[in-house]
């Protein structure tokens, strides 16, 4: 059966939202992350009964030491593992660095940040190919 979603999340509208974000558990750590993120430019926090949505415009940096400080912990004590433990899901392109997780709304911006070459490949060019040599 096919259904059409009528939610505010725009399932019918296929244009880019230019946003990326994550859903956190609505617990003590999720609440602290949301409190740290709420004043960042372009970030919207939405509280739901069992989760907290953090939505950001274009690029959003989740800096681990900011969370550690807000939790009353030492710098360097909060890691990507702690963020992932509190995160239920995410949308957008996620890049983990040693000191932060970055969410990109645009995959091309994430690729540029990582130094990926996104130029189209011309498969008609001659050159080395994979597989056994031709007879």
User: Going from the N-terminus, what domains does the chain have, and what CATH number goes with each?
Assistant: 19-114 (3.90.56.10)
Q: Both tokens of residue 11?
A: 């399932």
Residues 95-113 pLDDT 10s: 999 999 999 998 889 888 9
- Distance (Å, whole) CA 113 – CA 48: 32
| CA atoms 88, 61, 58, 40: torsion sign | positive
Distance (Å, rounded) from C-alpha 112 to C-alpha 15?
22
- pLDDT tens profile 32-91: 999 999 999 999 999 998 999 999 999 999 999 999 999 999 999 999 999 999 999 999
pLDDT (0 to 100) of residue 117: 80
Task: Calculate the alpha carbon distances from 65 to 9, 37, 73, 94 in Å.
Answer: 31, 12, 9, 18
pTM of the model: 0.75
């Amino acid at each position: 059966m096919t259904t059409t979603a009528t939610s505010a999340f725009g399932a019918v509208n296929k244009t880019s939202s230019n946003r990326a974000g994550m859903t956190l558990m609505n617990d003590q750590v999720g609440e602290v992350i949301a409190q740290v993120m709420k004043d960042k430019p372009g970030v919207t926090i939405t509280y739901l009964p069992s989760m907290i949505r953090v939505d950001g415009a274009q690029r959003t940096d989740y800096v681990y030491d900011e969370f550690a400080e807000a939790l009353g912990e030492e710098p360097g004590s909060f890691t990507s593992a702690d963020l992932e433990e509190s995160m239920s899901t995410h949308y957008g392109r996620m890049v983990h660095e040693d000191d932060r997780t970055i969410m990109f709304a645009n995959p091309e911006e994430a690729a540029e940040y990582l130094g990926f070459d996104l130029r189209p490949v011309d498969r008609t060019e001659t050159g080395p190919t994979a597989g056994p040599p031709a007879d």
